[in-house]
Amino acid sequence: MTWRLVAAGVGLVVLPGVAGAADAPVRVHPLSAVPFVLLLGAVAVLPMVAGYWWHHNRNKGLVAAALALPVAVYLFTVPGGVAALGHEVEAYVSFIVLLAALYTISGGVVLRGDLPPTPAVNAGLLGLGVVLANLVGTTGASMLLIRPLLRINARRKRRAHVPVFFIFLVSNTGGLLTPLGDPPLFLGYLEGVPFAFTLTLWPQWLVVNGLVLAVFFVWDRRADRGESAAALAEHEAGPEPDVPAHAPLRVEGLLLNGPLLVGVVGVVLLKNRLPFPAAELLMLGLAGLSLWKTPRPWRAANGFTWGPMAEVAVLFAGIFVAMVPALALLTERGAAGGVTEPWQFFWLTGVLSSLLDNAPTYLTMAQLAAAVGGCQDIAGLAAGRPDLLAAVSCGAVFMGANSYIGNGPNFMVKAIAEEAGCPMPSFGRYMLVAAAVLGPVFGLVTVLFFRS
């Protein structure tokens, strides 16, 4: 059985080979994808119509189990279904262990001091995250920077847009330039795509991130002007209760937890040489070391709790199981869709990445592009039809930002922000904001880079 690694620096997911791999394709009935659609609908609707009930992770687990378990039972009845389910179960374990390790270790790094929540400062931190995402992955950059950004803006009244743009930029669009940046790109690297291929995508990266940062700066400037004098006075009193105003910046916990984060990166990069679950146990060991050695006041200063991690674990358990038939249908029927042009691959990959995990979507669409382009495999696609591979890569990375479940760190950032008391838009409202902000940018990218 063929197993594939999908990692982005510290953004790891272990996934099965799909179309074109040694494993036989799974053939499922189209109705078997209905539970996945219903689960997405539940995530979108229940917070609005039954917010108090949905707030409890136990109830999220009940909904996820009710929709995922029938899918699991059905997969036991179709050829190849058990193997496909096993692939996704292992993928889920690796996904959650990695997020838990990053969440735990980064929770011990505290930024203290006085950093004013001005539009320039916020944009600067987002820009830092965009660059950092290419070095430690979108997940690693997100877990390192989201808490400091939330703390800096904690006393602003109008701040809900800040973590939303953080998801757009740091958790997604920033990680395009290296295979370490986002899970789909590392998968392509393992399939033989040259390491330097993604560096050729710097024009797309610069246009998207530059425009979205500019939109954020304008939005944040307008929000900042609407802040009350009382809120500004609160900031002058000090950004934290125990830190005086204008205190110098300092970072606590980095000497301990920084090497542990590097250790997680190292484990991810060695994952293909380690049998399951050796890498997962190593990452849990690094997280345990952080818990043991990090002073509790540092985590308390970050508002660290296990609530966001539990929420992600519960919901994604259902998502990983329920999406197996959807991925199988995409693999089986994708070639019949008449997709041949770069712009079509960009948008189809992007739309699917918004609702499915963008890593298996990338693999499926890249293999389809190789077939369309007359290339033997994805590695051949990089040499023979780089325009199609660029479209698939950009679609998967950029449009993972379109929903909370498009990329691994998205939902985690949402949960951390809500835990910190920052209001976040509902699933549907987030998608509307993403469409309004990102849609025109992606349209421009289509015209500039992927038109026929």
Distance (Å, whole) CA 395 – CA 174: 13
Neighbour-count burial for 416-433, b at 16+ CB within 10 Å, e otherwise = bbbbbebebbbbeebbeb
Q: State which amino acid sits at residue 274.
A: L
Strands (E), 209-264: 250-252
Strands (E), 9-105: 11-16
Q: What is the pLDDT of residues 76-87, one digit of tens each?
A: 999 999 998 998
Residue 111, SS3? strand
Confidence class of residue 376 from pLDDT cuts 50, 70 and 90? confident
Answer whether residue 357 shows pLDDT above 90.
no
The predicted pLDDT at position 231 comes to 55
Distance (Å, whole) CA 171 – CA 165: 9
Please state the rounded mean pLDDT for residues 335-348: 84
The predicted pLDDT at position 24 comes to 58
Please answer whether residues 15 and 363 qualify as being in contact, where contact means their C-beta atoms are separated by less than 8 angstroms.
yes
Q: Domain map of the chain by residue range?
A: 3-450
* Burial class of 2 by CB neighbour count within 10 A (0 to 12, 13 to 18, 19+): exposed
* Burial class of 196 by CB neighbour count within 10 A (0 to 12, 13 to 18, 19+): exposed
CA distances from 339 to 184, 325, 354, 366, 385 (A): 20, 21, 18, 12, 14
Chain length of the chain = 452
Record the tokens describing residue 116, joined without a space.
Answer: 């004013």
Q: Which of 358, 411, 373, 344 shows the shortest CA–CA distance to 185?
A: 358
Q: What is the pLDDT of residues 89-124, one digit of tens each?
A: 887 888 788 878 888 888 888 877 667 888 999 999
Distance (Å, whole) CA 358 – CA 352: 7
Please state the rounded mean pLDDT for residues 228-250: 54
pLDDT top residue among 313 and 397: 397
Q: What is the pLDDT of residues 61-74, one digit of tens each?
A: 999 999 999 999 99
- The top-scoring range by mean pLDDT among 224-238, 306-320, 326-340, 380-394 is 380-394
Record the tokens describing residue 244, joined without a space.
Answer: 């005086």
Q: Which of 221-225, 367-371, 401-405 is predicted least confidently?
A: 367-371
Distance (Å, whole) CA 365 – CA 381: 12
CA 436 to chain CA centroid, Å, is 20
Distance (Å, whole) CA 203 – CA 74: 45
Answer whether residue 235 shows pLDDT above 80.
no
Confidence class of residue 242 from pLDDT cuts 50, 70 and 90? very low
Answer whether residue 190 shows pLDDT above 70.
no
Confidence class of residue 412 from pLDDT cuts 50, 70 and 90? confident
Q: Is the pTM of this model over 0.85?
A: no
Distance (Å, whole) CA 367 – CA 376: 9
Record the tokens describing residue 55, joined without a space.
Answer: 């707030």
